[in-house]
Amino acid sequence: MIRQVFPGVGIFAGVAGLSKEKSRSGIYPNKTRSCVPIRVTRSVIPSLFTTMNLFSGFVAIIKATEGEYVVAAWFIVLSVIFDGLDGAMARLTKTSSEFGVELDSLADVVSFGIAPSFMLYSAFFYQWEAAGMIIAGLPAMCGALRLARFNVQLTGLDKDYFLGLPIPAGALTTISYLVFHHLSTDAVPSDAIRPALIAIITIGTSLLMVSTIRYDTFPKPIPTAIKGAPVKFVLALLGVIAIIVTKGKAIFPFMALYLVYGVFRQFYHFLRHEEEEDTMEALEETPFDI
């Protein structure tokens, strides 16, 4: 009865019995069961990168508590790299699974939702008290909603677009502006408009994450993807080079272009669709009396 309620008791009893038998005979009894080796499958590889993504987000929070916001921002960039690598490894090893998708979402909520929200609040929005708490919490809340919707609508790993701004892009946008522009000593932007700008950027990126605006996926560094979208690959490569040369200051302009391009393209398609509908209605109303 005790072993049914507390199964651990049986383990300790077995160890105690084994020790007694050894003390009597001087040797361990002969093994009657074969040892089952622990199997390490290929599916561990993507999960390892996902775990590193989560750990990098955790370190970013720690560094933010110490006031080292630049270091924290680079750990979020490192999380983005690990987030891209886990998907690449899943495709390479052909080990995509529901477990991997769920683990990836949990890691993303921490690294690209909670960590940026904490950084925004501790660096600036704490001055706005309750309002600042709400605004700073938007990336975490909207990011979680964005990932939940993504998991429900997920039909495969390879897609040509995202429905709504992806959470890593939202994190890069807000944190790069916070660290390299809002907290900088540069003359631009001026001190008078910095509070309004960071609030607009935080609210805007959060709303874009839960929107239905389509955003292109970032090109994969494989021959087929490069041949399919060479312009996209070249632009992404130039963006990476600019980020390295400027030591991170080019992240925000690059991400801002990505955000604005998605919004304007959606607006263009909306106007074009409305124009086509008006044309069809006009054709239907035109009499064809012969």
Q: What is the pLDDT of residues 8-36, one digit of tens each?
A: 444 444 444 444 444 444 544 555 555 55
Residues 206 and 241 in one domain: no
pLDDT bucket at 99, cuts 50 / 70 / 90: confident
> What CATH number is given to the structural domain containing 90?
1.20.120.1760
Residues 169 and 195 in one domain: yes
The strand ranges marked E within the chain are 161-163, 214-216
- Indicate whether 125 pLDDT > 60: yes
pLDDT score recorded for residue 183: 80
pLDDT score recorded for residue 24: 46
pLDDT bucket at 126, cuts 50 / 70 / 90: very high
Find the mean pLDDT for residues 214-221: 79
Q: Give 36's Cβ-side CA count (13 Å radius).
A: 1
Residues 150 and 210 in one domain: yes
280: left (phi over 0), alpha (psi -120 to 50) or beta: alpha
Residues 116 and 167 in one domain: yes
Residue 20 lies in a domain: no
Residues 91 and 177 in one domain: yes
At 135-194, the pLDDT tens digits run 999 999 999 999 999 888 765 445 677 889 999 999 999 999 999 888 877 767 777 889
Total domains, the chain:
2
Residue 90 lies in a domain: yes
- Indicate whether 278 pLDDT > 50: yes
Residues 75 and 207 in one domain: yes
Percent of the chain with pLDDT over 70: 75
- The neighbouring-strand residues paired with 216 are 161
pLDDT score recorded for residue 280: 57
Residues 99 and 175 in one domain: yes
DSSP string across 90-126: HHHHT---HHHHHHHHHHHHIIIIIHHHHHHHHHTGG
Residues 187 and 222 in one domain: no
- Across all residues in the chain, what is the average pLDDT? 81
Residues contacting residue 29 through CB under 8 Å, at least 6 positions apart: 18, 21
Q: Is the model more confident about 69 or about 237? A: 69
| Residue-range definition of the domain harbouring residue 60 | 44-154+163-215
- CA 287 to chain centroid, in Å, comes to 55
Contact 155, 202 (CB under 8 A): no
Start-to-end CA distance of the chain, whole Å, equals 95
Residue 135 lies in a domain: yes
